[in-house]
Amino acid sequence: MPIDTGHALAATARDTISETNAAELATSLFGIRGHAERLDGEYDDNFHLIATNSNDAWALKIASRDETEESIALQHNAMRHAGIGNPRLATTEIEGVRRFVRLLEWVPGTLLTRVAPQSSALLSSLGAELAKLDRALLDFDHPAAHRHLQWDLLQTAELREETHHVSDAHRRALVSRLLERVDREVLPVASQLRRSVIHGDANDFNVVVRDDRVAGLIDFGDMVHSATVTDLAIAAAYVMTGKNDPLGAAAHVVAGYNGELPLTDAERRVLYPLMLARLCMSVVISAARRASAPDVAYYRVHEAPAWAVLEQLDDVSFDIAQDVLFSRCRAPSDSGKLRRERAGNLGANLSLSYAEPLHIVRGWKQYLYDADGREYLDAYNNVAHVGHSHPRVVEAARRQMAILNTNTRYLHDSIVEYAHRLTAKLPPPLSVCWFVNSGSEANELALRLARAHTGRSGVIVNADAYHGNTQRLVEVSPYKFNGPGGAGPVRDVHVVAMPDDYRGKFRRDDTHAGEKYAEDVRDVIDATRDGAFLVESLPSVGGQIIPPRGYFAHAFDAVRAAGGVCIVDEVQVGFGRTGDHFWGFEMQDVVPDIVVMGKPMGNGHPVGAVVTTAEIAKSFANGMEYFSTFGGNPVSMAAALAVLDVIEEEALQENARRIGDGLKGMLAALASKHEIIGDVRGAGLFIGVELVRDRVTLEPAGQEAALVVNALKDRGILTGTEGPHHNVIKIRPPMCVSMADADRIVDTLDAVLTSGVF
Ligand code: PMP
């Protein structure tokens, strides 16, 4: 059936009834003296009628000439049944046509569409009021409600035939794809859905708000007998428009509804698909009407916002969306209890972030969601490199898990393919790989390789470096052995200065700073002739440091001249994070002897790797078998391969460069406004904002940094602190962040610093 474009209606009675005519009708038909003001309406001529001698007011509705008596009876009976007003009906003749004139109670207030921002209490009251109406109508029926209506959400099959009205091919494909998905979800359970007469159009133009609560619903002209849950789907769908967090906003409506009229399992299952169906319906019908009535803007008020939501939600998995929608129907999470419970069975030194720890239950792209459905922008997590729960990675790992997971003692394509793909990203002679399960395991193996090759055990490391959690790695991590609970340095580990050109002994104004810091390495290796220099390409835990140019080249020369090997730890920044390069060490035009990888490699699936030269690999292959039960298993390799694919296909390295540059620039501009920002440094999406109490003495503002990070968290942005003084705010988001996210980080930091949290 073709879509009713409303064109004929628009051309009929609209302008024939003036406000004066309407006021006269009110007097002659209902004995009310007042003045009338025209209101918007899709079909009817609607007026706000205000009594001349009192504060009384009504809605006077002159029905379109197509309106039937049955349809009006349906509306009026339903309203009386639900106890909302006592509508009156009369007839008159206008230009020879009999027209129904209705007098309804005026609901004072503002239309929801004009209320911004919309509080959670308001949204929840919308759900509650709609549920009360639906509940009251569960035992109501009327023959006129059993009708065919193009807006009925169970009629999407018809809509699918009309998608050709959408001229943009990309959008047309989006709607077709979504509608197919909706049918797949809804049709199997359609027969189990509760049916009743519903309002049918609780969009934001039909909801009246007073004192931050919904005061009433208006316009009962779309009443129909359908699945009860479609009423909620309609209201929740429109509430999503114009919101930063559309699902979070809709979750309040759902919770309000569920509190008054609990949803059945089948209703829960179809709610989200039906909400999408409604938005699809809105854009398709708008497109159809655009063709036939290009001037009637009222028909298209929801078009642009509905597209925005559809595009935003396009790649959100249905599971996540449903979970967010129902997050407020659950009892609020008791994070206090969960902690207390950790204390019993988990090691006391497993720390939690933030003064009030978060209970995160879901991740999607650059966003995390807590147990209460609150969304956070994750500006901290480099493990979810291509975005939390990336469907491509999830699917690759899931599929392989369902086929086979075993170890490297059997031949398997994936490990070979991955080794090829990974080494193709590295400069020669780095060509031989081992796969492990963590950054620690990778560093541990790297040290074994170095020892096997040089015959010496000693390691040179930067002050405040962190390389992992094993016994030996704690021994080579000054951040740990010099920190709380640390046992101090062991004999064969040598600490050299952190090449920090902001706070260290050689600063940015010294063009030879890199070379000078490298002298420290030369002195140690010359004195000890000890085996390995283990260094992060961009030290993170040590304070988001960007070593000055020349540091690596000079240090590597010195180490190699003394027979040592250079191990670069890329656990933090590898895989394109620095934007201009795939690996951090490339910023310094050097080639390490051994490269260590971890965190981002499997996008959350535990994968690490060590890559070295054929020569070093030969030294290690001394007859003793090397075996890691899980390292290089087919599932890990499938996940890691998918990560490489996504980095390339979504051009994430370029995104890191572009967004990182923009973000760094905006943060630097913020430094001119806030004295406390002593330094902004970074490469791509690896950024540090160092807070100081005094820009001359560089007195670290560690306590302030902690307050800022907690305040950012309270405002929905997750960051952390780093550095020996804990005064460097670390910004290291998933690589898919957008410029809008960058703006949000900067604006929020600005607001926090302006509000003076300390
Ligand atoms: N190296 C560096 C530079 C790290 O930052 C970390 C972890 N923060 C590790 C190694 C250890 O990695 P994992 O926690 O995966 O063992």
pLDDT tens-digit readout, 105-151:
999 999 999 999 999 999 999 999 999 999 999 999 999 999 988 88
Question: Which whole number is the average pLDDT over 575-602?
Answer: 98
297: pLDDT strictly greater than 50: yes
Which residues, including other chains, have CB under 8 Å from residue 174's CB and lie 6 or more apart? 310, 311, 314
295: pLDDT strictly greater than 70: no
Ligand 1 in reach of 134 Cβ (< 6 A): no
Cα distances (Å, whole numbers) of residue 110 to 63, 286, 532: 23, 25, 71
Alpha helix (H) residue ranges in 187-245:
229-239
- Record the tokens describing residue 221, joined without a space: 């002209």
| Spatial contact of 602 and 392, defined as CB atoms under 8 Å apart | no
pLDDT level of residue 299 (50, 70, 90 thresholds)? low
Ligand 1 in reach of 569 Cβ (< 6 A): yes
The letter for the amino acid at 579 is G
Cα distances (Å, whole numbers) of residue 55 to 58, 105, 248: 10, 12, 39
pTM of the model: 0.77
Ligand 1 in reach of 467 Cβ (< 6 A): yes
State the distance from the centre of ligand 1 to the C-alpha of 538, rounded, in angstroms: 13
pLDDT level of residue 663 (50, 70, 90 thresholds)? very high
Q: Which of 716, 581, 646 is nearest to 315 (CA)?
A: 646
35: pLDDT strictly greater than 50: yes
Pocket test for ligand 1, best of 477, 570, 599 (most atoms within 8 A of CB): 599
Alpha helix (H) residue ranges in 534-633:
551-561, 614-620
Q: Is the peptide bond before 429 cis (omega within 30 degrees of 0)?
A: yes
243-252, 476-485, 507-516: lowest mean pLDDT where? 243-252
Q: Which residues of 125-142 are buried (b: 16+ CB within 10 A; e: fewer)?
A: bbbbbbbbbbebbeebbb
Q: Which helix (H) or strand (E) holds 611?
A: strand 608-613
Residue nearest to atom 2 of ligand 1 (CA): 467
Ligand 1 in reach of 535 Cβ (< 6 A): no
Alpha helix (H) residue ranges in 537-629:
551-561, 614-620
Share of the chain above pLDDT 90, in %: 82
Ligand 1 in reach of 600 Cβ (< 6 A): no
Ligand 1 in reach of 440 Cβ (< 6 A): yes
Can you give the pLDDT at residue 2? 39
Question: Which whole number is the average pLDDT over 410-429?
Answer: 97
**Atom of ligand 1 minimally distant from the CA of 539:** 3
| Spatial contact of 335 and 356, defined as CB atoms under 8 Å apart | yes
Can you give the pLDDT at residue 238? 97
Question: Looking at per-residue confidence, does 34 or 152 come out higher?
Answer: 34
Question: Looking at per-residue confidence, does 298 or 634 come out higher?
Answer: 634
Encode pLDDT of 498-551 as tens digits. Answer: 999 999 999 999 999 999 999 999 999 999 988 899 999 999 999 999 999 999
Question: Which whole number is the average pLDDT over 339-360?
Answer: 86
4: pLDDT strictly greater than 80: no
Question: Which whole number is the average pLDDT over 674-700?
Answer: 98
What is the distance between the alpha carbons of residues 48 and 40, in angstroms, rounded to a whole number? 10
5-14, 169-178, 544-553: lowest mean pLDDT where? 5-14
Encode pLDDT of 554-569 as tens digits. Answer: 999 999 999 999 999 9
674: pLDDT strictly greater than 70: yes
Can you give the pLDDT at residue 298? 60
**Atom of ligand 1 minimally distant from the CA of 441:** 16
pLDDT level of residue 291 (50, 70, 90 thresholds)? confident
300: pLDDT strictly greater than 80: no
Ligand 1 in reach of 544 Cβ (< 6 A): no
Encode pLDDT of 702-719 as tens digits. Answer: 999 999 999 999 999 999
What pairs with residue 217 in β-bridges?
207
Ligand 1 in reach of 572 Cβ (< 6 A): yes
What's the mean pLDDT when you consider all of the chain?
93
Residue with tokens 């009338």: 36
What is the distance between the alpha carbons of residues 283 and 267, in angstroms, rounded to a whole number? 24
Which residues, including other chains, have CB under 8 Å from residue 749's CB and lie 6 or more apart? 667, 670, 689, 708, 712, 717, 729
Cα distances (Å, whole numbers) of residue 545 to 490, 503, 528, 662, 682: 25, 10, 27, 19, 8
Question: Which whole number is the average pLDDT over 259-265?
Answer: 97
Question: Looking at per-residue confidence, does 669 or 361 come out higher?
Answer: 669
What is the distance between the alpha carbons of residues 43 and 269, in angstroms, rounded to a whole number? 33
271: pLDDT strictly greater than 60: yes
